[in-house]
A and B are shown apart, each in its own frame.
Chain A
Amino acid sequence: MTTQETETARAWLADSLGLEFAPEALQGPLAAVRQAREATAGARLPFEAEPSAVERLREDLAPERRGDE
C-alpha cells in the first residue's frame, strides 16, 4: 500500500465520516479493498444488470417453477 493511498483513505475517513485512524490501522482494510477489486477485475456485468434481478431468479429456481429443466 503506498503512502499516498493510505493518506487518501485516512483523510477520507476523517473528513467525510469524522473517523480518525492511524495510517498503520488502515493497512489491513486497504488490502481487503484491493483484494475485492482484484477479485472482480474479470467480471463483465451486462449494462442493464440491476441488483433485484437476484430475487426474480430465486423465484424462477423454486421447485414448482422448474418447467422443462
Chain B
Amino acid sequence: MSEPGLAGLTLSAAAAAIAAKDASSREVTEACLTRFARHGAALNCVAGLDPEAALAAADAADAELAAGRRRGPLHGVPLAHKDMFYRAGRESACGSRIRAGFVPRETATVLQRLDAAGALDIARLNMVEFALGTTGHNEIVGAVRNPWNPAHITGGSSSGSAAAVAARLAFGALGSDTGGSIRLPASCCGLIGLKPTYGRVSRHACMPLSFTLDHIGPLTRSVADAALMLQAIAGRDDQDPTSSARPVPDYRAALEGGVKGLRIAVPETFFYDPVDDSVARSVRASLEVFAALGAELVPLEMPEEIAFANRLNMLIIAVEGASFHADWLRERRDDYGRQTLGRLLPGLLHPAQQYLAAMKLRAVVLARLKEAVFARADLLHTPVFPYEVPEIEASDVAVNPGFLEYLAGTGHCVRPFNYTGLPAISVPAGRTANGLPTGFQLVGRSFDEPTLLRAAAAYERETGCCAPVPPLT
C-alpha cells in the first residue's frame, strides 16, 4: 500500500495546515500530484492535468499567504472536478468525443466561487459520457476504476470525481447529480456525496443534461469537507434564474448538534425492494448507530406514488437531454457511445403529454412525501446503491444489453430526490461481502442541508466511516 502522506489529510485539515503554515500549498499540491502520477492512469480518472500550472497556482497561494492575504477557507487547497464545469479558455470534453476540444468562453459560477474561496483547480476528471449513466462505464474514454478494487465500477456519472477523492489524488471534487450521479459513486467508493436542494447551487456554465433535474454538489472524505465546499458554492446566482435567493446558512455550525431527539424515518416499503442482503445489512446497521446516539427511529410506509419517481425521472432526463442533443443526434450520431445513445433516443419518442404528466406528478409525489414522511420525521434514511458494487465487465450494458433493467434499478433509491428536488447525502456504511464500500442516504426537507450534515457528522464521529484508505498498490 502506498502511503498518501499529506494527500491523505481531509480537505478541512489541509486547509487548516496551510492557514497555520504547518504545510505549504506547494507541499500539499506536490503530494496530490505524486498520487496523480502514481494512480491516475491506473484508475483512468484523469481527463486533463497540468502539473506545472498546478504548482504555479500553489506557489501563488503561498505567496499571498506570506503577504498576509488569505483568500478564503479553502486557500491553497488542491481540488479537481468532473470535466463538465466550464473554465474560460480550458477544454471541457464532458467525457465525450463530441465535445473533445471544446473550449468554453465562460467559467462556471461554482468554479468562480471555489476560486474566490482560495481553492486550486488542478485537474479535470473523467466522467460518464455527458453524465448519462449510473455505473461509470464510458465507451469513449473508458471506464473509471474503483480504488477499492480496480476490476469494479466506481458508480457514475461522477466517476472520476469519486475515484480521485477516494484515492487521495484530490481533497474534494465537484460532481453533478441528475439521477444519483453524486450519491451513487460516493457510495461505491466510500465517500460523502451531497446533492443539495434544487436551486441551492448555481448550474451556470455547467454542462446541462436535464435542466429541471440537474444538481451540483461535492464529493469529499468527511462531512465537514462537504460543508466547507457547499458553503463556498451555495447561494443565488443571477446568471442562473433557477437558483434560490434564500439566505445561505452556516453549514459548519450545524456539524456539532448531534442527533439526540432527531426523528429519522425508516422506510417499511419501496426503498429496500431491490436491495442486496449484504447491502441491506450494512445500511440497517447504521440505523442502530443513530438509535444509540439518541435519534428516534420512526418506521413509516412510503407513499405509493413514489414508485413512479424512478421511471419518470429517467423519462424527463431522456426528453430534456434529447432537447440539448438534438442537433448532434442528427449530425454526429456515430460519435456517441451506445449506452448514451440508448438513453437519449427515447427522449425523441415520448409523447409530449407523457413528459408533462411526469412533470405534474412531481408535485404529487412531493406532496405525498410531505404528508407521509416529513410531517412525522426530520430525515428519511434509505440505501443508496442497491447492489454490491459489480465488476466493470459484467455490468457493461453496451456489451450485455440484458443488464439494462439492472441499471434502471441502480437509481431506485436516489432518483426520487432528483424528481422532487429534496436534499440528500450519501454516507459510507462499511463494506459488503465483496469488499467494496456501500452507503446509506439521508434525505431532508427542502433547504435543510444543515440537518443532513448534522446527522451525518454525528454518525461519522461515532464510526470513523470515512477514514479507511483504499489499498492501492
Contacts and interface: CB of A to CB of B under 8 A. Distances in A.
Contacts of B311: 35-36, 39-40
Contacts of A29: 342, 345-346, 348-349
Interface string A13-57: 100011101000110111011011101100101100111011001
B446 A32 contact: no
B308 A40 contact: yes
B357 to A, nearest CB: 6
Dominant SS at the A interface?
helix
Nearest to A52: B363
Nearest to A28: B342
B446 A17 contact: no
A62 B342 contact: no
A28 B342 CA distance: 7
A43 B246 contact: no
B350 A36 contact: yes
Contact of B349 (A30, A39, A43, A51): A30
A7 interface: no
Contacts, number: 119
A18 B328 CA distance: 12
A39 B330 contact: no
A36 B312 contact: yes
B213 to A, nearest CB: 11
Interface residues of A, number: 36
A37 B354 contact: yes
Interface residues of B, number: 47
A17 to B, nearest CB: 6
B256 to A, nearest CB: 18
Contacts of A61: 366, 370, 374, 422, 445-446
B305 interface: yes
B84 interface: no
B198 A28 contact: no
A62 B357 contact: no
A13 B330 CA distance: 10
Nearest to B318: A32
A19, A28, A30, A36 — most chain B CB neighbours (10 Å)? A36
A45 to B, nearest CB: 5
30 contacts: A9-B349, A13-B348, A17-B348, A18-B330, A19-B329, A26-B345, A28-B345, A28-B404, A29-B346, A32-B318, A32-B346, A33-B346, A33-B350, A36-B350, A39-B311, A39-B312, A40-B361, A45-B357, A49-B360, A49-B364, A51-B360, A51-B362, A54-B359, A54-B366, A54-B421, A57-B363, A57-B370, A58-B198, A58-B421, A63-B450
Interface of A: 9, 12-13, 17-19, 21, 25-26, 28-30, 32-33, 35-37, 39-40, 43, 45-46, 49-51, 53-54, 57-63, 66, 69
The 9 closest A-B pairs by CB, nearest first: A53-B363, A39-B311, A32-B346, A51-B359, A29-B345, A58-B446, A29-B346, A49-B360, A54-B363
